[in-house]
Structure 1
């Protein structure tokens, strides 16, 4: 008897190549989609300027350097950063980085030093 392809894929995703019950796989897939949708809703709450600042924050660029790049003050960048953290419900920079990685191909922010958008497929 051959395993259903979804079961095999589920096993690989869970680092268990032998078996994942189809229902468990579907629940995990649904949970991931729900998480992405939630993150997209949070991201949609950001202002255009906050979306512009976000990639600089995620890249670890200091507020002063970000301000210079965007032609604004360091204090303004700090305010944007605080608002981004609040709106995205991130408790730390690491949380925010994980969120932007999870959004992956699902948002329209751009990395500050490349033409690669978070929306482009990796």
Structure 2
């Protein structure tokens, strides 16, 4: 099993977003924080690559019962994915990625079930 020391450093949001931004491609930065008891086998793992998928597809409860907050977060994520699919540039109403501004969308942050905004470069130090 991978070490919990490696996971915080295996990220590329900064490079991913800046590369697209440099070519004038609209880009939005998002980070999923949803460490959910029914989705995280080792408790130290928290959110990991693709752990948002069961929430976005409404299937997290297949692995264990959702809490009311998990169910609400799942509904929010489903509506966000639908809005983006219907209108990628304007459907979400989110600001495009800008590192020094509050444009990073934080999903599942703390006990929040809606998106919160943070500095686009808030987590760059971990990369």
Q: What TM-score, normalized by structure 1, do the two folds share?
A: 0.29
Bigger Rg, which one = 1
The higher-RCO structure (CA 8 Å, 6+ apart) is 2
Q: TM-score, normalised by structure 2?
A: 0.29
Larger relative helix fraction: 1
Q: Point out the structure with the larger strand share.
A: 2
